[in-house]
A and B are shown apart, each in its own frame.
Chain A
Amino acid sequence: MKIAVCVKLVPDSAATVSVDGGQVSWGDAPLVINPWDEFAVEAALLLAEEHGGEVAAISLGDENAKEALKHALAMGCTEAVLISDAALADSDTQGTAKVLAAAIEKTGADMAVFGKQAIDSDNAVTASQTARYLGWPALTLVSAVKSFDAGGKTLQVERAIEEGRQVVDGPLPAVLSIVKDYAEPRYPSFMGIRKASKAEIPVWSLGELSIEAPTAVVTYPEMMNPPEREVTNEIIEGDSPEDIAAKLADKIMAEKVL
Chain B
Amino acid sequence: MANKVWVYIDQFKGEALPASWEVVMAGRKLADEMGTGVSALVFGEGVKAIADTAIHYGADEVMLADDASLADYRAEAYTATLAKLAGDGKPDVILFPTTTRARELAAMAAVDLESGVLPDVTAMELDGDTVVATRPIYAGKLLTKTRCEAKPQMLTLRVRAFGKPEMDESRSGVVTEVDAALAEGDIATKVVDYTTVEGGVSLTDASVIVSGGRGTSNRADLTPPAEITDEKEQEIWRAQQGFKLIGELAETLGAAVGASRAAVDAGYIPYTNQVGQTGKLVSPDLYIAAGISGAIQHQAGMRTSKVIVAVNKDADAPIFKLARYGVVGDLYDIVPALTAAMKDRLGK
Contact = CB atoms under 8 A, between A and B. Distances in A.
Contact of B140 (A164, A226, A244): A226
Nearest to A36: B278
Interface in A23-55: 24, 35-36
A166 B76 contact: no
B141 A16 contact: yes
Select the residue from B149, B300, B308, B327 with max chain A CB neighbours within 10 A.
B327
A168 B193 CA distance: 7
B145 A221 contact: yes
A171 interface: yes
Contact of B323 (A24, A124, A226, A231): A231
Contacts of A220: 144-146
Contacts of A222: 144-145
B200 to A, nearest CB: 12
A129 B110 contact: yes
Contacts of B118: 218
Nearest to A234: B325
B286 A257 contact: yes
A233 B321 contact: yes
Nearest to A97: B111
Contacts, number: 252
A223 B333 contact: no
B134 to A, nearest CB: 8
Contact of B116 (A131, A168, A217, A235): A217
Contact of A236 (B147, B295, B326): B326
Interface stretch (B23-31, B39-47, B220-228, B335-343): B335-343
A167 B207 CA distance: 30
A133 interface: yes
Contacts of A253: 345
B345 A226 contact: no
Interface in A207-258: 216-226, 229, 231-237, 241-242, 244-246, 248-253, 255, 257-258
Contact of B143 (A128, A133, A223): A223
Given A94-B110, A219-B149, A245 B144 contact: no
A125 B194 contact: no
Nearest to B306: A257
B148 interface: yes
Contacts of A162: 12, 17, 99-100, 202, 204
B157 to A, nearest CB: 15
B75 A168 contact: no
A122 B137 contact: yes
B169 interface: no
Contacts of A179: 271
A82 interface: no
A255 B285 CA distance: 9
A149 interface: no
Nearest to B99: A162
Contacts of A224: 142-145
Interface stretch (A73-81, A104-112, A138-146, A190-198): A138-146
Given A125-B107, A236-B326, A161 B117 contact: no
Interface string B78-112: 01000000000000000000011101101110111
Interface in B133-169: 135-150
A29 B321 CA distance: 22
B34 interface: no
B2 interface: no
B262 to A, nearest CB: 12
A112 to B, nearest CB: 15
B138 A120 contact: yes
B303 A94 contact: no
B328 interface: yes
Interface stretch (B48-56, B183-191, B232-240): B183-191
A125 B324 contact: no
B212 interface: no
Nearest to B315: A235
B136 A122 contact: yes
9 contacts: A17-B141, A122-B119, A122-B137, A129-B108, A218-B116, A226-B141, A226-B303, A234-B326, A252-B342
Given A132-B112, A236-B327, A245-B340, 5 more contacts: A129-B108, A131-B75, A218-B117, A231-B322, A257-B207
